Structures are given as C-alpha cells and as structure tokens.
C-alpha cells in the first residue's frame, strides 16, 4: 500500500515537473515502461492469493490510469506550448515592404516581344488556333521552293537572305527569312494530313525569330514574325477577312478600328492582300483608330494551290488562307516604342521602362 501511494505521488510530481516532451517521455518510461515502477507492481500480482490479487490489481490499474491521464494532460500542455514557441520563432511579417534595393536589382520584366507574342497567341487561341514552331536554320526548299519561290524566281531578291554553308549532302541552308516555312512543315506532317483527311481543319499560328540582312531604325537583322495558316475544304477569303478584322480590333483594343485590304503579291498566296489599319498623326503623335492615314501591318492571302500541292495535299480538295506579320512592328505600334534597335540592346533602363509585369496576365 505504501508502495502505491509513494509511486503515485512521485510519478504525478515528476509529470508536473517535466519541462518538455522528452522529459515527459522519460517519466512515462520510469513508471509504465517495461522496467517501470507500476509495471514492477503488476509483476508482484502473480505471487498473490486470488482475493488479494483482485483487490491489489484493481488499485494498480487505477494508479496506472491516473498516471496515463496525467501524462496525456501534460503532453497536451507541453505540445501547445512548443507549437506556440515555434510559431513565435518562425513568425514572418508579410506586410513588411521589400528591401529598397530589391526592385532595382532583382525584379525583372517581360520583354515587349514576349508580351506581344502572348497577346497574339491569346487572341488566336480563342479562335481555335494552336501554336506551332519550326527551326531558325532552315533548308532552302522549305524557306523558298515549297512556298512557290523557285531558285531563279525574282521574289528571292525581295528577301535579303543570310545564306549558310550547305549540309554535307549538298542541301543549301539559310537562316529563315520568314516564318512561312513552318506552313510547309506543318502541312507535310503525316498526322496533320490524316487529321485533314478525316475532315478536320488545320489552324496554327507560328511565332518565331526570322533573319534578313537589314539594319536601320525599323529593321534589325534578327526580328520576329507570327505566321498564321488555316487549311480545310471550305475556308475562303471572307473568313480571312473576318479573322484578321477581329484580330486587329482585339489586339489594338479599338472596337471600330478601320481595316483596308489592299491587293498585293506574294508567291505563296493567290489572291494576296496586304492589310492596313487606320490611324492619325495629329500633332506628330500616332493614334491608332479612325483617321486620315493608314499603317501597313500584315501580308495575307489564299494559300497558292502550288504550295498545297508541294506539301503533299490535293489542291482540288484543300484550301485556306495564310498571313504573316512582324511582331516587333506591331509591338512598336501598340506600345509607342520608337526605335526597333533598342529591343535587342539589353539596356536595363529600357527594359524597365517598356517591360511588362510578370504578374499581369494576358487577357
Ligand atoms: N512571309 C511574308 C514575309 O515575310 C509575310 C506573309 C505574307 C506571310 C503573306 C504569309 C502570307 O503567310 O500569306 O514578308
């Protein structure tokens, strides 16, 4: 009996004094562990007479229950104290302003070219176009011949081409002068041809880098284009017009933006049209919208039957339209950026001024 009350008071005292969870666990082991004091009492039960065992057993069980309850209660107290201490030590003040130098040194912006490509992709994406790409280093056939520009064709002189050394097999190579070769690459794709055979429609935009020997305030040797291509069995010039009117109005954010489709010539389209948008130059400042001037912004047309045939499709079955525009040019026009060459200077002051917030999502 004495044992019981001594063990009880010692154990409960130790529980109360345990300063942390590790100390508390040591108390538990000392009382209830394999070699613990209460476990020791249990072991004496075996040598007792049945009546005594019943009575003493009940008392030991009660003691065990009391100690367990005390351990649990202390554990809860210590646990929440530990959590509270952790929360205090790990506290972050999210309302603190960033260090003053952070915005200068560590805060990047999106380049206008990437921003405009995303804007263009978002608008055509809503019309059902997908994004396609092709190589910057292109072979002469995809860049020219496939697009109905044979070797001696004067149209090759329209584009001042960077010629590269031929491949080992003699294939003449160029830095692509436009994104149009991706039209050919896509139409030649067997999966695309299968999809068309099943009655599907091909609708792609092709944003990418292009290269020409040219360098002044509005031309750089490397620049960017977005190509567009729609191929199915029924798409006609009216669709081309509607699509480009909707695009230009959405892109320039002018609902009644006037557009002019001017007859033109490209070897890969027939008929061909260049597209101008309305603008005014009041006080020397460009304003896009109704006015007395026009700005040329893209080339377009119905894909030439020769191109469709060159790409392994039957021009008696398939037809569609294509267009191509300069990304840099429409970025300059939309955001009032005067000189194209600055786009590629990597001048942080320019980038901070004309760049876009990474947090600003497109549409
Ligand atoms: N490839 C032409 C260029 O770089 C632009 C172009 C015009 C693309 C008409 C087209 C098109 O797809 O139909 O000047």
Q: Is 274 in the pocket of ligand 1 (CB under 6 A)?
A: no
| Dist CA 152 CA 171 (whole Å) | 17
Q: Ligand 1, from 324, 329, 330: best to mutate by most atoms within 8 Å of Cβ?
A: 324
Radius of gyration of the chain (CA): 39
If you take atom 2 of ligand 1, which residue's CA is the nearest one? 324
CA-based nearest residue to 243, from 120, 116, 127, 121: 127
**Residue closest to 15 by CA, chosen among 62, 58, 78:** 78
**Which residue lies with its CA nearest to atom 3 of ligand 1?**
178
| Ligand 1 centroid, distance to 289 Cα (angstroms) | 24
Helices (H), 254-293: none
Pairing mode, strands 137-139 and 173-175: antiparallel
Report the pLDDT value the prediction gives residue 215, as an integer from 0 to 100: 86
Tokens of 361: 């999502």
For residue 180, which atom of ligand 1 is closest to its CA?
1
How many CA atoms lie less than 13 Å away from 185 in the CB half-sphere?
19
Ligand 1 proximity of 266 Cβ (cutoff 6 Å): yes
Q: Tell me how far apart the alpha carbons of residues 260 and 104 are, in angstroms, rounded to a whole number.
A: 44
The rounded Å distance from CA 350 to ligand 1 centre is 30
Distance CA 342, CA 103 (A): 22
Q: Cβ(324) to ligand 1 under 6 A?
A: yes
Q: Is 342 in the pocket of ligand 1 (CB under 6 A)?
A: no
User: How many other C-beta atoms lie within 10 A of the C-beta of residue 36?
Assistant: 19
Query: Residue 140: what pLDDT?
Result: 94
3-state secondary structure at position 273: strand
pLDDT digits (tens, 9 = 90+) for 292-327: 999 999 999 999 999 999 999 999 999 999 999 999
Identify the burial level of 54 via C-beta atoms within 10 angstroms of its C-beta, where 0-12 means exposed, 13-18 middle and 19 or more buried: exposed
Q: Please, are residues 136 and 176 in contact by the beta-carbon 8 Å criterion?
A: yes
Pair of tokens at residue 154: 């004067």
Q: In this structure, which topology does domain 112-354 adopt according to CATH? A: BirA Bifunctional Protein; domain 2 (3.30.930)
Strand pairing class (130-131; 202-211): parallel
Q: How far is the CA of 274 from the centre of ligand 1 (A)?
A: 9
State if residue 343 touches ligand 1 by the CB under 6 angstroms criterion. Answer: no
Contact 323, 300 (CB under 8 A): yes
Quick one: pLDDT at residue 104?
52
Residues in a beta bridge with 326: 225
**pLDDT < 50 stretches in the chain:** 1, 363
> For residues 156 and 177, what is the distance between their CA atoms, to the nearest angstrom?
10
State the distance between the two ends of the chain, measured CA to CA, in whole angstroms.
Answer: 81
Helix (H, G, I), strand (E, B) or coil at 315: coil
For residue 269, the ligand 1 atom closest to its alpha carbon is 13
- Region of 149 on the Ramachandran plot (φ > 0 left; ψ -120 to 50 alpha; else beta): beta
Q: Which atom of ligand 1 is nearest to the CA of 210?
A: 4
Question: Quick one: DSSP state of residue 343?
Answer: G
CA of 306 to the centre of ligand 1 (A): 16
- The pLDDT assigned to 151 comes to 84
Is residue 271 reached through a cis peptide bond, with omega within 30 degrees of 0 on the bond before it?
A: yes
Q: Using CA atoms, how far apart are residues 360 and 163, in angstroms rounded to an integer?
A: 40
**Distance from C-alpha of 343 to C-alpha of 218, rounded to nearest angstrom:** 11
**Bridge partners of residue 291, in order along the sequence:** none
The per-residue pLDDT for range 85-130, each reduced to its tens digit, is 999 999 988 888 766 655 555 678 899 999 999 999 999 999 999 9
Distance 323 CA to ligand 1 centre (A): 6
Side-chain-side CA neighbours of residue 176 (13 Å): 28
Indicate if ligand 1 lies below 6 Å from the C-beta of 60. no
Atom of ligand 1 nearest to the CA of 303: 13
Q: Are the CB atoms for 273 and 300 separated by under 8 Å?
A: yes
* pTM for the predicted model, two decimal places: 0.72
């Amino acid at each position: 009996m004495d044992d019981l009350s001594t063990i009880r008071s010692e154990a409960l005292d130790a529980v109360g004094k345990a300063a942390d969870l590790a100390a508390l666990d040591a108390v538990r082991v000392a009382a209830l562990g394999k070699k613990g004091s209460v476990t020791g009492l249990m072991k004496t039960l075996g040598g007792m007479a049945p009546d005594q065992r019943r009575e003493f057993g009940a008392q030991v069980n009660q003691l065990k229950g009391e100690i367990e309850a005390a351990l649990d209660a202390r554990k809860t107290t210590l646990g929440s104290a530990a959590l509270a201490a952790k929360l205090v030590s790990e506290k972050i003040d999210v309302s603190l302003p960033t260090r003053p130098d952070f915005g200068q040194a560590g805060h990047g912006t999106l380049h206008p070219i990437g921003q405009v490509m995303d804007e263009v992709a978002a608008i055509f994406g809503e019309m059902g176009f997908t994004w396609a790409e092709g190589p910057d280093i292109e072979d002469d056939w995809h860049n020219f011949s496939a697009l109905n520009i044979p070797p001696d064709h004067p149209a090759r002189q329209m584009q001042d081409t960077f010629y590269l050394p031929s491949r080992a097999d003699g294939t003449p190579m160029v830095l692509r002068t436009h994104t149009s070769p991706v039209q050919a690459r896509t139409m030649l794709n067997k999966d695309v041809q299968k999809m068309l055979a099943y009655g599907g429609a091909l609708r792609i935009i092709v944003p990418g880098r292009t290269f020409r020997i040219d360098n002044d305030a509005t031309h750089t040797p490397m620049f960017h284009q977005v190509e567009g291509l729609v191929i199915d069995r029924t798409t006609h010039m009216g669709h081309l017009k509607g699509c480009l009117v909707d695009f230009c109005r959405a892109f320039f954010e002018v609902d009644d933006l006037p557009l002019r489709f001017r007859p033109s010539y490209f070897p890969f389209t027939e008929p061909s049209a260049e597209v101008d948008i309305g603008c005014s130059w009041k006080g020397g400042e460009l304003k896009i919208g109704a006015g007395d001037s026009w700005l040329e912004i893209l080339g377009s047309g119905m894909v030439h039957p020769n191109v469709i045939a060159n790409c392994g499709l039957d021009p008696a079955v398939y037809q569609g339209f294509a267009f191509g525009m300069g990304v840099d040019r429409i970025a300059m026009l939309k955001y009032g950026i005067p000189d194209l060459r600055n786009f590629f200077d990597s001048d942080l002051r320019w980038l901070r001024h004309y760049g876009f917030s990474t947090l600003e999502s497109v549409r």
